[in-house]
């Protein structure tokens, strides 16, 4: 996760920079964000069924290799001068497709390694996501921004290499057979079984809906963030990477204490607090007149993203049977992430119609409503007890 997330972080800065290099149209830039989000809806529904019938380590390795190959193609086309917004959107789609399979397999594999104790999973997920945050938002974005300034193809080559390295490290994960009974049903029947389990659980459905709201609002505000930062805050390519890196401070801190937070306020309380923190963060960015204040505000969004992820993932891993975990994870993420492209589309349209600051104002307003709604639905749940 550490080596791969550095490449992902470089990509986080380089992908919108390349989009902005290819077009200054906010809708065009947002198309790339939509391409990166669509697989959660288009592919995610089937990913879990395959994860529950194949060795999960093998799924992770194939996903890494496929993503590395897609980036190698992009590097070749950038060098040939053939890069375009449609191409960038397609590559973003392929990368997220690989992530859909990899994440479902990795999250299902973790209880196989550690067991299903919620406090142990909470600590492990917190540390894993903190590690991911270090690479994805602290080390990676400055590297991506700096490399893009030197050569537009360079950060994509670094990410391709990171996926190859990651696939090698995954070979060190203990080998485990595919879950028993994974092939007893057809793919469609397996998918239906996963959705049936999810919808039979009120808490899981509510958490999935809360994650939907979280991700839609995040995409709404972030889809044209690169244009806002460049035109309103005056950031350069390298400074934009540093701005994204500011998210890591809060994310790393909350990741290391996530188990304590879950023990104190419970999963529901953690999710509601994350919705509120994201709203505060985007409001701070919208009202900021300097890169420094925007960076401090983005730290709140980083903390929120890590906390909400640790909370919902730990709840799934501790309660869903192993033979269903891949499918339930994919069904959950289909709801939680599948509608996220709507946020990117809305962000691009709103920025084009009302200015680049408008999405950063709209997101906190929507998140405030979400805090009220999900506060009523989730905070009645008892906190998790930590040993």
Residue 380 banded pLDDT, cuts 50, 70, 90: low
pLDDT of 20 higher than 80: yes
- Of the chain, the percentage scoring pLDDT greater than 90 comes to 34
pLDDT of 2:
83
Residues in the chain: 387
**In this predicted model, what pLDDT tens digit does every residue of 309-362 receive, in sequence order?**
999 998 999 889 888 998 898 888 888 877 887 898 899 899 989 999 999 999
Residue 181 domain-assigned? no
Q: Is the distance from CB of 78 to CB of 91 less than 8 angstroms? A: no
Residue 183 banded pLDDT, cuts 50, 70, 90: low
pLDDT of 381:
47
Residue 32 domain-assigned? yes
Say which residues have a Cβ less than 8 Å from residue 99's Cβ, sequence separation at least 6: 39, 63, 67
Question: Tokens 């969004």 appear where?
Answer: 301
Q: Which of 282, 239, 214 is nearest to 13 (CA)?
A: 239
Residue 385 domain-assigned? no
Query: What value does the mean pLDDT of the chain take?
Result: 86
pLDDT of 230 higher than 70: yes
Q: Is the distance from CB of 71 to CB of 156 less than 8 angstroms? A: yes
Give the residue numbers spanning the domain of 323. Answer: 2-171+186-378
Residue 179 domain-assigned? no
Give the Cα separation of 265 and 352 in Å (integer): 40
Residue 112 domain-assigned? yes
| CATH number, residue 119 | 1.20.1250.20
Residue 180 domain-assigned? no
Residue 43 domain-assigned? yes
Give the Cα separation of 329 and 215 in Å (integer): 16
pTM of the entire predicted model: 0.74
Identify the residue with better confidence: 77 or 1. 77
Residue 386 domain-assigned? no
Give the Cα separation of 282 and 298 in Å (integer): 7
Q: The tokens of 128 are what?
A: 């894993």
How many domains are there within the chain?
Answer: 1
Give the Cα separation of 99 and 268 in Å (integer): 26
């Amino acid at each position: 996760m550490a080596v791969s997330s550095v490449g992902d972080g470089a990509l986080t800065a380089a992908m919108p920079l390349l989009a902005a290099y290819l077009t200054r149209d906010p809708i065009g830039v947002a198309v790339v964000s939509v391409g990166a989000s669509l697989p959660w809806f288009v592919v995610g529904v089937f990913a879990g069924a395959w994860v529950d019938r194949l060795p999960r380590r093998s799924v992770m390795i194939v996903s890494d290799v496929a993503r590395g190959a897609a980036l190698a193609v992009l590097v070749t086309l950038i060098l040939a001068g053939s890069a375009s917004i449609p191409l960038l959107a397609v590559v973003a789609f392929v990368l997220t497709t690989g992530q859909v399979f990899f994440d479902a397999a990795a999250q299902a594999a973790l209880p196989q390694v550690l067991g299903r104790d919620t406090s142990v999973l909470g600590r492990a997920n917190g540390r894993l996501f903190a590690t991911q945050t270090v690479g994805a938002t602290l080390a990676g974005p400055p590297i991506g921004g700096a490399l893009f300034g030197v050569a537009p193809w360079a950060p994509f080559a670094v990410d391709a290499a990171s996926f190859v390295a990651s696939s090698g490290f995954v070979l060190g994960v203990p080998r485990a057979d595919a879950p028993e009974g994974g092939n007893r049903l057809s793919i469609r029947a397996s998918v239906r079984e996963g959705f049936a389990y999810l919808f039979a659980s009120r808490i899981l459905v509510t958490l999935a809906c809360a994650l939907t709201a979280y991700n839609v609002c995040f995409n709404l505000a972030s889809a044209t963030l690169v244009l806002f930062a460049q035109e309103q805050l005056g950031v350069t390519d390298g400074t934009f990477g540093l701005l994204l890196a500011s998210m890591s401070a809060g994310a790393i801190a909350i990741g290391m204490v996530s188990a304590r937070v879950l023990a104190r306020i419970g999963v529901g309380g953690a999710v509601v607090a994350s919705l509120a923190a994201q709203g505060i963060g985007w409001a701070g960015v919208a009202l900021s007149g300097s890169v420094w204040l925007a960076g401090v505000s983005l730290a709140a969004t980083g903390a929120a993203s890590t906390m909400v992820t640790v909370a919902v993932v730990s709840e799934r891993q501790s309660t869903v049977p192993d033979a269903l975990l891949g499918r339930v994870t994919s069904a959950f993420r289909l709801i939680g992430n599948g509608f996220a492209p709507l946020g990117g589309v809305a962000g691009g349209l709103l920025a084009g119609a009302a200015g680049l600051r408008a999405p950063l104002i709209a997101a906190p307003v929507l998140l405030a409503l979400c805090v009220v709604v999900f506060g009523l639905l989730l905070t009645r749940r008892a906190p998790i007890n930590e040993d």
